[in-house]
């Protein structure tokens, strides 16, 4: 996973090749982007650093853009959206829609589900439940289940 690969505390490029402790984080970002077929442009490198250096998290494009602005980095909101979509298509992020107009991007693209706390506009991870798939009806002929995304919406009592 991209997040694990870019972790400064435990740098690993893949499960078989641990990175050296003295490797510079930018080299790891560049290697991951190249391996996924993305050119390591300055905006991708910077946004990757901002996204993945903080570990697993859920973030909207607007919140990421606010972090970019606060860091005084000259990247447009359109570039943030484009980069998030490119990272998602490359499998580095997972996009979670919580309603028709709001999406979060998860830096942990592994199979797991989410609680959405409506009043706080926040997502929390739920570990994947293996037997959940046993209860899903079989797809029509010619189709297969690619992924199951469960978002449980919560409100305070």
Task: Write out pLDDT tens, residues 90-144.
Answer: 999 999 998 777 899 999 988 888 999 988 989 999 876 667 667 788 889 999 8
pTM above 0.85, yes or no: no
The 3-state secondary structure of the chain reads CHHHHHCCCCCECCCCCECCCCCCHHHHHHHHHHHCCCCCCHHHHHHHHHHHCCCCCEECHHHHHHHHHHCCCCCCHHHHHHHHHHHHHCCCCEEEECCCCCEEEECCCCCEEEEEECCCCEEEEEECCHHHHHHCCCCCCCCCCCCCCCEEEECCC
Nearest to 49 by CA among 102, 5, 103, 114: 5
Residue 56 CB partners (closer than 8 Å, separation 6+): 3, 106, 107, 108, 125
* Dist. CA 52–CA 57, nearest whole Å: 8
Residue range 15-37: mean pLDDT, rounded? 69
Residue 59's pLDDT band (cuts 50, 70, 90): very high
pLDDT score for 23? 57
pLDDT score for 130? 67
Write down how long the chain is.
157
Which residue's structure tokens are 């046993």?
134
* Dist. CA 48–CA 99, nearest whole Å: 25
């Amino acid at each position: 996973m991209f997040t694990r690969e870019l972790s400064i505390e435990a740098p690993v490029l893949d499960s078989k090749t641990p990175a050296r402790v003295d490797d510079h984080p930018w080299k790891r970002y560049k290697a991951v982007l190249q391996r996924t077929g993305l050119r390591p442009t300055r905006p991708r490198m910077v946004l990757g650093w901002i996204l993945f250096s903080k570990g697993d998290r859920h973030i909207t494009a607007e919140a990421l853009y606010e972090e970019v602005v606060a860091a005084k980095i000259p990247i447009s909101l359109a570039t943030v959206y484009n980069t998030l979509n490119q990272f998602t298509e490359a499998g580095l992020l997972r996009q979670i829609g919580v309603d028709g107009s709001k999406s979060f991007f998860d830096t942990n693209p592994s199979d797991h589900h989410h609680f959405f706390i409506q009043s706080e506009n926040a997502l929390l991870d739920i570990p994947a439940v293996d037997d959940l798939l046993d209860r899903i009806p079989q797809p029509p002929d010619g189709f297969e289940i690619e992924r199951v995304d469960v978002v449980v919406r919560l409100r305070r009592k």
